[in-house]
Amino acid sequence: MYGRLNREVKIYREIYPLRILDLGGWTDTWFSKYGNVCNISVLTRLFGSSSGPFRGIDIIISQKQSMLSKIVINAMDLNFDLTISLEELRKDVFDHQNLLASTLSQVWTGSLSHFETEILIMSPVEPGASMGTSATVSGGLLDLLEKMRYKEKDKVDKKFIVKKAFSVEKTVMRRQTGTQDYFSAVFGLGAQKIIVTDYPNTDIEKINLSLKTKEKLEAGLVTVFIGRHDSSDTHLMVIKRMEEDENNLNDLEPLRQCAVRGADALANNDLIKYGECLSENTNYQKRLHPDLV
Domain total in the chain: 1
CATH number of domain containing 128: 3.30.230.120
Q: How far apart are CA 147 and CA 194, in angstroms?
A: 24
Question: What is the pLDDT tens value at each position of the chain, 293 positions in all?
Answer: 344 445 678 899 999 999 999 999 999 999 999 999 999 999 998 776 667 788 999 999 999 988 888 999 999 777 889 999 999 999 999 999 999 999 999 998 888 888 899 999 999 988 778 899 999 999 999 999 999 888 766 779 999 999 999 999 999 999 989 999 999 999 999 999 999 999 999 999 999 999 999 999 998 998 887 777 666 677 788 888 888 888 889 999 999 999 999 999 999 999 999 999 999 999 999 988 887 77
CA 152 to chain centre: 22
- 5 in a domain, yes or no? no
Q: What is the pLDDT, as a whole number, of residue 230? A: 67
Phi, psi of 118 (to 5 degrees): -110, 130
Does 53 sit behind a cis peptide bond, omega within 30 degrees of 0 on the bond before it?
no
Determine the Cα angle at 58 with ends 16 and 52, to 5°: 95
pLDDT tens digit sequence for 261-272: 999 999 999 999
- 214 in a domain, yes or no? yes
- 3 in a domain, yes or no? no
- 28 in a domain, yes or no? yes
- 42 in a domain, yes or no? yes
Q: How far apart are CA 285 and CA 157, in angstroms?
A: 34
pTM of the model: 0.91
- 77 in a domain, yes or no? yes
- 158 in a domain, yes or no? yes
Cα four-point dihedral sign 19, 20, 24, 29: positive
Query: Which range marks the domain in which residue 105 is found?
Result: 10-292
Give the list of residues 6+ apart from residue 210 with CB closer than 8 angstroms, or none.
269
- 1 in a domain, yes or no? no
Query: Strand order of the sheet with strand 191-198?
Result: 18-23, 35-42, 191-198, 201-206
Q: How far apart are CA 107 and CA 227, in angstroms?
A: 32
